[in-house]
């Protein structure tokens, strides 16, 4: 009998698992409402974050879990000088970057060791891995250079600088690379099975392939190859979605794959289109967004899931993972409703004949 972790690892290798695994990510708001813990506590107290995450794994039977999905935790928190503001019981937002002019760049230094919210993130990953990591696949992210630059300089400024103020962009993006390597070093030390590069502000909906390959990919590649040289892997999970520059067909396929993996447009048709292609290291996926879990009726969700499983498992001999792409809820009532739906989803997945 495979452990949940082995089930998940089997599908990432295209092998037959004992049961269809469940991959849960982006669930901080769900944990907040469902277990009645203030969001700020989940960010400030790694022990509580680990407790509620482990409880959710126990209660719902997740096979793979991605804890700590909150931008402030990824390394560009107030500990490096980026200004954040907390308003009510909501996730915080940035209110000021560090780079307002060229002179500011030289004042920014890479820390020697994690502190503040990044320290909390490392603690969350490390403690959760110690607690459930033998049985459950725990995944952590390494913030990529472009997204780091967006926090240091502001999103709009960074996006514009890359084309409009190239000289300045070229002066601060190496700092993004250095920070990303520093984040990666600390996340990898936790000893998780994989730690992909996370470019929060990069998706085929937001930026084009040409822009990506000119202004993002070269710096992502610097980070990935830095670790590769040391025999470590930080996979760049965004690049497959961006297509090749000048190649409209590959860009269209990339967008299809993005919709498929991220559950941005759940439909059987999206799955049917996407499974004509494959991305090495990715399992077949049935992505279900928080939007779907909140707005669709339980019957509609179950019908979709059964049809998707039939398409992938029976008709295409694939072993998918069910990816709960964003367990985001806006109230306790919504969280309870989603929890009921989750239990039904997991019952179907774990008992589906393979």
Partner 1 sequence: MATQDIYDAVIQYNGKGIADLVQAELDSGTDIEILLKQGLISPMDKIGQDFSEGELFIPEMLMAAKAMKKGLEVLRPHLTQTASKPKGTVIIGTVHGDLHDIGKNLVTMMLEGAGFKVIDLGVNVETKKFIDATNEHDAKIVGLSALLTTTMPAMEKTVTALKKEIPGIKIMVGGAPVTQSSANKIGAEGYGEDAPSAVKLAREFI
**Residues of the shown chain interacting with partner 1 in the complex, contacts defined by CB under 8 A:** 29, 32, 39, 85, 87-95, 155-156, 159-160, 162-164, 205-208, 211, 255, 290-291, 295, 328-331
Give the neighbor-by-neighbor strand order of the sheet with 64-65.
137-138, 64-65, 22-24, 320-324, 284-288
**Nearer to partner 1 among residue 15 and residue 332 (C-beta):** 332
Token pair for 190: 């936790």
Q: CA–CA distance from 26 to each of 154, 204, 292 (Å)? A: 23, 19, 14
Q: How far is the CB of 93 from partner 1 (least distance, A)?
A: 3
Closer CB to partner 1, residue 91 or residue 308?
A: 91
Instruction: Output the smallest distance, CB 160 to partner 1, in A.
Output: 5
Minimum CB separation of residue 123 from partner 1 in Å reads 24
Please say which residue, 56 or 126, places its beta carbon nearer to partner 1. Answer: 56
Beta bridge partners of 284: 320
Nearer to partner 1, 138 or 327 (CB): 327
CA-to-CA dists, residue 316 to 206, 262, 308, angstroms: 32, 21, 11
Q: How far is residue 299's CA from residue 308's CA, in Å, rounded to a whole number? A: 14
Pairing of strands 64-65, 22-24: parallel
When the beta carbons of 163 and 354 are compared against partner 1, the nearer one is 163
Q: Phi, psi at residue 166, to the nearest 5°?
A: -60, -35
DSSP assignment of 165-181 equals: SHHHHHHHHHHHHHHHH
Query: Least Å distance between CB 326 and partner 1?
Result: 8
CB of 330 to partner 1, least distance (A): 4
Alpha-carbon span 317 to 343, nearest angstrom: 25
Q: Which residues contact 73 (CB under 8 A, 6 or more apart)?
A: 43, 117, 118, 120, 121, 124
- Minimum CB distance to partner 1, residue 50 (Å): 21
**Among residues 152 and 162, whose Cβ is nearest to partner 1?**
162
């Amino acid at each position: 009998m495979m452990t949940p972790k082995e089930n998940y690892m089997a599908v990432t290798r295209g092998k037959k698992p004992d049961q269809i695994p469940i991959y849960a990510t982006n669930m901080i708001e769900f944990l907040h409402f469902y277990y009645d813990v203030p969001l700020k506590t989940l960010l400030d107290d790694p022990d509580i974050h680990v407790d509620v995450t482990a409880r959710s794994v126990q209660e719902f039977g997740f096979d793979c879990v991605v804890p700590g999905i909150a931008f402030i935790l990824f390394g560009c928190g107030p500990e490096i000088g980026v200004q954040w503001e907390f308003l009510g019981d909501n996730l915080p937002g940035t209110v000021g970057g560090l780079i307002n002019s060229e002179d500011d760049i030289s004042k920014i230094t890479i820390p020697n060791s994690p502190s503040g919210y990044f320290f909390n993130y490392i603690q969350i990953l490390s403690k959760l891995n110690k607690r459930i990591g033998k049985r459950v696949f725990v995944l952590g992210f390494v913030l990529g250079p472009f997204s780091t630059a967006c926090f240091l300089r502001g999103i709009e400024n960074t996006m514009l600088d890359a084309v409009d103020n190239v000289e300045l962009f070229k002066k601060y993006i190496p700092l993004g690379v250095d920070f990303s390597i520093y984040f990666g070093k600390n996340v990898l030390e936790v000893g998780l099975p994989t730690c992909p590069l996370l470019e929060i502000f990069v998706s085929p909906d937001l930026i084009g392939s040409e822009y990506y390959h000119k202004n993002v990919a070269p710096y992502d590649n610097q980070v990935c190859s830095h670790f590769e040289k040391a025999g470590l892997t930080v996979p760049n999970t965004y690049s497959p979605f961006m297509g090749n520059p000048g190649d409209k067909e590959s860009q269209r396929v990339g967008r299809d794959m993005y919709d498929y993996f991220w559950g941005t447009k759940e439909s059987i048709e999206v799955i049917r289109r996407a499974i004509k292609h494959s991305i090495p290291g990715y399992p077949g996926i049935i992505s279900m967004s928080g939007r779907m879990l909140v707005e669709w009726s339980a019957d509609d969700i179950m019908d979709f899931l059964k049809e998707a499983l039939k398409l992938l498992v029976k008709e295409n001999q694939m072993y998918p993972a069910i990816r709960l792409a964003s367990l985001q809820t806006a109230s306790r009532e919504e969280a309870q409703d989603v929890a009921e739906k989750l239990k039904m989803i997991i019952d179907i997945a774990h008992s589906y004949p393979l």
